[in-house]
Amino acid sequence: MSEDIVKIKGIKQGLLLIFASDSKFDEIEENIQKKLSLGFFTRGTPVYIHPEDLPKDDAETLKKIFAKYGLICKIENPENEIREIKQEEPQREEVSFAKPEVKVEGEKVEEMMVVNKTLRGGQEIRTKASVLVCGNVNPGAQIIAGGSIDIRGKCLGVVHAGAFGNQDAVIIADRLLPTQIRIANLVARAPDEGDETEKPERASIKDGQIVIEPIER
């Protein structure tokens, strides 16, 4: 089955799903289930589906599937989303923001903080929620998140997921080459230059240590 059945585009409100024009719904559902099982989507991420892309019943089925994994699925055009996260850069080059929690089908889920820009050296994000960065995290930049971290670009700075003890948190990046990587109370060194890969990677805790493995975007 083609990985292009469901394409994912990073937007400032979260993620937008784009479906192949000739795909059937059971193929779309299977592809999304596969991505969810691999930890491709970070918990709390807002996911958008254009209402005209799927019949209402099929869209609602996907919405329920995403909710089981703690994601916020919205059947609407993202352009209609009124509430936006504004990233105003303070003079001391630090961004600090904590999002409130929301309810998804009775389960308490931390809302995702979306950063629609590259983080430069000296900038910091510190939040109790998960973080989605649509850009790079440059050397000298730092992210400290209570939840997971998803970087749609290169990760070259310091990243700390599950900062308040959440060992289920993960770190995903298109190029995972951090200065330092931390999950909960565990710390891992930066990969050796020879270990560099062009594939997206996910860092998670397995058997009491941080493990980095390739994934499919």
Average pLDDT value for the chain: 80
44 plus 134 within the same structural domain: no
Query: 14 lies in a domain?
Result: yes
Of 27-41, 75-89, 139-153, least confident by mean pLDDT is 75-89
Q: Does residue 96 lie in a domain region?
A: no
Considering the domain architecture, whether residues 68 and 171 belong to the same structural domain is answered as no
Regarding whether 74 and 170 lie in a shared domain, the answer is no
Query: Do 43 and 138 fall within a single domain?
Result: no
Residue 136 lies in a domain: yes
Q: What was the pLDDT predicted at 110? A: 52
* Mean pLDDT score, 20-31: 91
Last residue of a domain, one of 47, 80, 113: 80
Q: Can you give the CATH number for the domain in which 67 is found?
A: 3.30.750
Q: What is the reported pTM?
A: 0.59
> Residue 71 falls within a domain, yes or no?
yes
- Quick one: 163 and 76 in the same domain? no
Spell out the residues 6+ positions from residue 192 whose beta carbon is closer than 8 angstroms to its own: none
Cα–Cα distances (Å) from 82 to 15, 35, 209, in that order, read 16, 28, 41
Pairwise CA distance, residues 102 & 24, whole Å: 32
Contact 101, 110 (CB under 8 A): yes
Please tell me the distance from the alpha carbon of residue 85 to that of residue 204, in angstroms, as a whole number.
27
pLDDT of 84 reads: 37
Same domain, yes or no, for 74 and 127?
A: no
Number of domains in the chain: 2
Looking at the fold, whether 75 and 168 belong to one and the same domain comes out as: no
Q: Does any domain span residue 168?
A: yes
Residues 138, 68 share a domain: no
The reply to whether 71 and 149 lie within a common domain is: no
Q: Residue 13 CB: number of other CB atoms within 10 A?
A: 20
The parent domain of residue 127 ranges over 101-214
Q: For residue 7, what pLDDT is reported? A: 85
Residue 32 lies in a domain: yes
The reply to whether 75 and 105 lie within a common domain is: no
98-102, 137-141, 175-179, range with the lowest pLDDT: 98-102
- Rounded average pLDDT over 35-44: 75
pLDDT at residue 83 tops 60 = no
Tell whether 207 is covered by a domain. Answer: yes
Reduced to 3 states, what is the DSSP secondary structure of residue 209? strand
Residues 110 and 73 in one domain: no
In angstroms, the CA 171 to CA 131 distance is 10
pLDDT band of residue 199 (cuts 50, 70, 90) is confident
Mutual angle of helices 56-68 and 25-37, in 10-degree steps:
10
Mean pLDDT lowest among 91-95, 124-128, 162-166, 178-182: 91-95
DSSP label at residue 26: H
Which whole number is the average pLDDT over 159-182? 93
Of the chain, the percentage scoring pLDDT greater than 90 comes to: 41
pLDDT for 78 equals 75
Q: Evaluate whether residue 133 is within a structural domain.
A: yes
Query: Across residues 92-101, what is the average pLDDT?
Result: 40
| Contacts by 26-30, CB closer than 8 A, 24 or more apart | 27/1, 28/54, 28/58, 28/62, 29/61, 29/62, 29/65, 30/1
Question: Is residue 107 located within the same domain as residue 206?
Answer: yes
CATH number of the domain enclosing 173: 2.160.20.70
